A = this chain, B = another copy of it.
């Protein structure tokens, strides 16, 4: 079982650069003094990355890079690729490498893999909860500093879709913009006058009155913020397919299906990236 992963891998040069930075953070100035004191140079070992819980995998490129940075000739064989699901106990990948490379690269490999798989796994829970509705599960800009590109990739590996990567990507008019502009109408008019032709415009609305105002303008999407499901249903009807509808605010696994059944196109959830527990993954020597 596997989520869509056709969008392809992350560029390797970015992965290796991120891994080098993480290794430097983890090694510190003296390096792996435990391994260097105890483990003879040159010996080889085999190990497996194993899931200790059910989940969805994302981030194997990082794990591979962590080991290969220390041992270019390491073998890294993927058993369950990014986007694939695992049960507790499943082998995700096997590695054969210098023993020191295995020991010194382990923590960075698992830190990336555990976090990104955690994001994929939480995303997948939401995706499966809304199965057979039209709603897609979507991330936000509530990501951890320095990790946005990778977390958004993990969301895709969990079956979700991506909202804006940066403030450059699209116009999203929120309550504070409206306040600063002196009203919803003024804000939308400023935005539509200045938006580039490759830029979509989305407007956050809190109630049906605002929604009606917004729909009088040539916008692409509405963010229906913090509405109860009855209001959401009415909003979806009012929109009637003219623009994309996105629900957000206070949505968890306990109520996401109810929200999805209102007929919204997208449900955006900050916790996918800011609060996903790591997937428990470990490196077992064989």
A residues whose Cβ falls under 8 Å from a Cβ of B: 6-8, 10-14, 17-18, 20-41, 43, 45, 47, 69-70, 99-100, 102-104, 106-108, 110-112, 114-115, 118, 138, 141-149, 152, 161-177, 179-181, 187, 190-191, 193-200, 202, 220-221, 244, 246, 265-266, 270-271, 274-278, 283, 285
Contacts and interface: CB of A to CB of B under 8 A. Distances in A.
Contacts of A174: 34
A167 B197 contact: no
Contact of A166 (B8, B27, B43): B27
A161 B275 contact: no
A42 B208 CA distance: 32
Given A145-B112, A177-B38, A171 B33 contact: yes
Contacts of A45: 180
Q: Count the copies.
A: 6
Contact of A70 (B11, B33, B100): B11
A138 B197 CA distance: 10
27 contacts: A7-B36, A10-B31, A11-B31, A17-B20, A26-B141, A26-B148, A28-B165, A28-B168, A30-B165, A33-B171, A34-B191, A37-B193, A38-B181, A47-B176, A99-B180, A103-B177, A103-B180, A104-B167, A107-B167, A111-B145, A112-B145, A115-B274, A145-B147, A169-B169, A175-B285, A197-B220, A274-B278
A275 B277 contact: yes
Contacts of A110: 142
B198 A29 contact: no
Given A22-B146, A196-B163, A244-B197, A171 B29 contact: no
Nearest to A268: B197
B111 A152 contact: no
B111 A274 contact: yes
Contact of A198 (B12, B41, B175, B202): B202
Q: Which 9 A-B pairs have the closest CB atoms?
A: A28-B166, A28-B168, A30-B168, A275-B277, A170-B198, A22-B145, A274-B278, A29-B165, A37-B194
A149 B246 CA distance: 30
Contact of A33 (B14, B199, B283): B199
- Residue with the highest number of chain B CB atoms closer than 10 Å, among A112, A114, A177, A199: A199
A191 B144 contact: no
B23 A198 contact: no
Contact of A38 (B41, B102, B190): B190
Given A145-B146, A163-B198, A274 B114 contact: yes
A172 B11 contact: no
